[in-house]
Structure 1
């Protein structure tokens, strides 16, 4: 799933949400919010179908494979507290998601590409793993190179994201700091995570 290269507009329409934020995929969802294909409109999904669709939302939105999603589930399943909320918190703390939500990029695939190419540092150390888990106090900066600064500065100047309360972002120095742990009101994906947890626990 992390290497999905298919038509993103179809995924948005099939799942009924803005999963992929590319301009074309977003316009397609605005024009036609019904699922693609014939005889789909009005069809009622089974419980398994609904759980599978919600799971697909998480996988596509955060760029996870099936194995990685199940790994996250097993990491939180034995912990105290709401398993679904803890699962989404792990997803939100991924470096590629934080880079996107801070405003460095317009989409998560763009964030992953920049991370893999070594454009981002965490606490002064280059990190090339999009799944890197950030902690409160971690500081994200970009590689000190004029061309890379110009690239991300241009994105920030032309795109004003709504930075969540658990992040701070300086648009001049392009420095982001994780101030806390994202909670239930901070998740950027509208998903029924409880039925996903039930699905994964089988």
Structure 2
């Protein structure tokens, strides 16, 4: 399975945001990476550069590589509505993202690993495809044999996030993907219109 496995703090510093979650290294060095990172003496960014950075930020945030992200955009473009909003909604409907939103894992990278290693079920059936697209009403749960995993227990204990489009039953260790979130409900700081403009060139 293709995925980004490089350093996360360096990428977060590049965008000036802790896009991978809490990061002590980012808090310590919030300026761009490289020996000239603190000076910030860089020329004015071109329109293309700004659009490209926004696309890269979205890709790294959701853990999607270029070819797959382009396919998601093409899918969003075919649907009726605002393409940029639909793009983010499709990313939010991914199984690995919903596992992360439910608090089963502290990071999307960890959530993707849980899915790949067959710890997650959808409507009672094992699903090991991180990009699996959920539909409203789908029930996502932890496989019975995996409920005792310390990593999952620690993540759920530390989770304090609540989202309107997701419900969670801590007794059964399962949650329901109630609805596709509206753009105003998605907390990610992504200017999706810039991504649309980039791909529309």
Whether TM exceeds 0.5 here: the answer is: yes
| Structure 1 segments unaligned to the other structure (5+ residues) | none
| Superposition map of 1:50-199 within 5 A | 50-145=50-145, 148-151=146-149, 152-157=152-157, 159-199=158-198
Q: Aligned pair in 2 of structure 1 residues 11, 2: CA closer, same or farther (>3 Å)?
A: farther
Corresponding residue for residue 35 of structure 1: 32
> How far apart are residue 172 of structure 1 and its match?
2.3
4+ residue segments displaced more than 4 Å: none
- Count of aligned positions: 196
| 8 Å contact from structure 2 (residues 137, 177) kept in 1 | yes
TM-score by length of 2: 0.92
> Where does the alignment leave 5 or more consecutive residues of structure 2 unmatched?
none
- Kept after mapping to 2: 8 A contact 1:124/1:141: yes
Q: Map Cα deviations across residues 13-37 of structure 1 (whole Å, 9 max, x no partner).
A: 001111222x5xx112212221112
Residues 163 and 169 of structure 1 are in contact (CA less than 8 Å); yes or no, is this contact kept in structure 2?
Answer: no
Q: Give the whole-Å Cα distance in 1 for the aligned partners of 2:189 and 2:94.
A: 18
Tell me the TM-score normalized by structure 1: 0.91
Match of 2:6 in 1: 6
CA RMSD of aligned residues (A): 1.6
